[in-house]
Amino acid sequence: MSVNYAAGLSPYADKGVCGLPEEFDSPDELKAKVEILAQLIKESQYLVVHSGAGISTSAGIPDFRGPKGVWTLEEKGESPQFETTFEDARPSLTHMALLGLQRAGYLKYLISQNVDGLHVRSGFPRDMLSELHGNMFVEECEKCGRQYVRDKVIGVMGLKPTGRLCDVVRSMSLRACREWIKVLEECSSGIAKVNRDKRADLALTLGTSMQIKPSGDLPLITKRKGGKLAIVNLQPTKHDKHSYLRIHGYVDDIMKQLVELLGLDVPKWEGPTVCERS
């Protein structure tokens, strides 16, 4: 099942600038920058990663503002091409590398704008993850707040009833836990988790141009608290001028180099795995 997620979203006029040209660092420059990033991570006491749609393109899921992004093509009157269904998509090297960073103790918290569920399906602990825009595989009880991670995409958009009942509150129906700004406004537990970002001394953004508010401004909390901001993205981002380090290249290639410099292995994906607690 491949849900047309973009078509089902509530109208949202401010999509930011789409289709900006991609930039690539030279191999030598890329290597030098990744070495700097590795050193920053080694020195960090509290690393928070902010992930965007760019980390899932290698998994066959289009981003929003890239050359073949959902909104870039929408402006041209075209439709995006999905190379896979959401159910069949496999976590990318970046998803698994982030799991490796978490298991090694480097990564303290992960904040994602993605709804594709790949962080959860990679086995990343849900208690160390905030999915700001929801998760296409998660539904929750609107009364007790219990969440259920499903094997299939939830067939409705937004915070709407799914037709199933909560196992605890049998009289209360479950709702889909995903929609852009509404999840930020209505899922208070997610907002509370984001406050962990205030402890971060290093914010690393991966595959996001940070154009959507308020999620795109969250990495700046670290900067304002005296920490550093490192950006990995192919296109210019909204907060380039605030960054300590900017790396332009394919995120999978960068993360592969990074984990090698840190002496880590990328965990092997063994199939969809849900880990509730670290």
Domains, the chain, ordered by start: 24-133+179-261 (3.40.50.1220), 138-178 (2.20.28.200)
Judge whether residue 190 has pLDDT over 50: no
| Residues whose CB is less than 8 angstroms from the CB of residue 232 and which lie 6 or more positions away in sequence, other chains included | 204, 205, 206, 207, 247, 249, 251, 254
Residue ranges in 17-124 assigned as alpha helix (H): 27-43, 70-75, 93-103, 118-121
Q: What is the dihedral of CA 119, 122, 125, 128, to 10 degrees?
A: -30
Task: Work out the pLDDT band at 151, boundaries 50, 70, 90.
Answer: very high
Averaged confidence pLDDT in the chain: 84
Determine which one of 50, 95, 119, 133 is catalytic. Answer: 133
> Is the separation of the CB atoms in 200 and 48 below 8 Å?
yes
pLDDT of residue 81: 67
d(CA 48, CA 41): 10
Which tops the pLDDT comparison, 34 or 171?
34
Joined together, the tokens standing for residue 251 give 């995120």
Cis status of the peptide bond prior to 214, with omega within 30 of 0: yes
Of the candidates 119, 116, 18, the residue with the CA atom closest to the CA atom of residue 70: 18
pLDDT of residue 268: 96
pLDDT of residue 163: 86
For 7-31, what is each residue's pLDDT tens digit?
445 445 566 676 678 899 999 999 9
Is 133 in the active site?
A: yes
Determine the 3-state secondary structure of 186 from DSSP: helix
Task: Work out the pLDDT band at 245, boundaries 50, 70, 90.
Answer: very high
Length of the chain as a residue count: 278
Task: Work out the pLDDT band at 177, boundaries 50, 70, 90.
Answer: low
For 211-224, what is each residue's pLDDT tens digit?
877 788 889 989 98
- Over residues 132-146, mean pLDDT: 86
**Per DSSP, what are the bridge partners of residue 163?**
none
